[in-house]
Amino acid sequence: MKWTTRNPKTLTTDLSGSILENIATAFPSSNEAVIAQETTAIHIWTTKDGGINWTSEVQKPSESIIQNNFNGKIQMQFTTAQTGLLILASQGNAGSTSDALLQTTDGGINWRVLQESSPGSTFENVDSVAMSPSGMGIASVNTVITGRAEILMTTDGGQSWVSQPLPLPHVSIYQMRRKTPPFRVEI
């Protein structure tokens, strides 16, 4: 197998030339790729031709979602070639969190906010999301912050979430991925 470098020329890099943190990638199909990078905005690059040509978009949903000093996690998952989710799980100033779930229905060009955390909200301290094409999904809650082991469940594509406690001691689920068929999740 041979690897070819095909990154977008405008992708932010540090002085050594290596790509900075806070990057998420997704591959909706064999020729399509989406790269998201969170800095003071969400920078989205998309390709439809296997990485030969890239288009770039900058998304800035709201100041409460995007913080200048992002210190967290960004994750992206596509359930179809057009429908994808982007989760931002950040640790803000003075220990406050700012979590958000964004959705695209046009292959990553435009994103809208599905969920945004607020203190005490159901969608607070979320680390990872796994979603099926049917709209069924789960999200893990960071138990280091909350002190509880739980997942959130949705059956409507992320529009609403219900908390489900887990019969486990304090555990943290940092990464989940969807395995099909049938719908099951690896953690």
The pLDDT score that the predictor gives to residue 81 is: 85
Average pLDDT of the segment spanning 17-28: 68
Q: What is the pTM of this model?
A: 0.67
Residue 141 · residue 125 · CB < 8 Å: yes
The pLDDT score that the predictor gives to residue 14 is: 42
pLDDT above 80 (res 117): no
User: Using 50, 70 and 90 to split pLDDT, how confident is the model at 100?
Assistant: confident
pLDDT above 80 (res 33): yes
| Token pair of 119 as six digits | 């203190």
The pLDDT score that the predictor gives to residue 15 is: 37
- d(C-alpha 142, C-alpha 144), whole Å: 6
The pLDDT score that the predictor gives to residue 185 is: 52
pLDDT above 80 (res 19): no
The pLDDT score that the predictor gives to residue 69 is: 43
Residue 96: CB atoms within 10 A of its CB come to: 11
Q: Which of 161, 142, 143, 158 is nearest to 101 (CA)?
A: 158
| Residues 42-61 pLDDT 10s | 778 888 888 888 887 776 65
Average pLDDT of the segment spanning 34-39: 76
Highest mean pLDDT among 110-114, 165-169, 173-177: 110-114
| Residues 122-169 pLDDT 10s | 666 676 778 888 888 888 776 555 566 678 888 988 888 888 777 665
- Give the start-to-end residue ranges of the domains of the chain: 67-186
Maximum CA pair distance of the chain?
49
- d(C-alpha 73, C-alpha 13), whole Å: 18
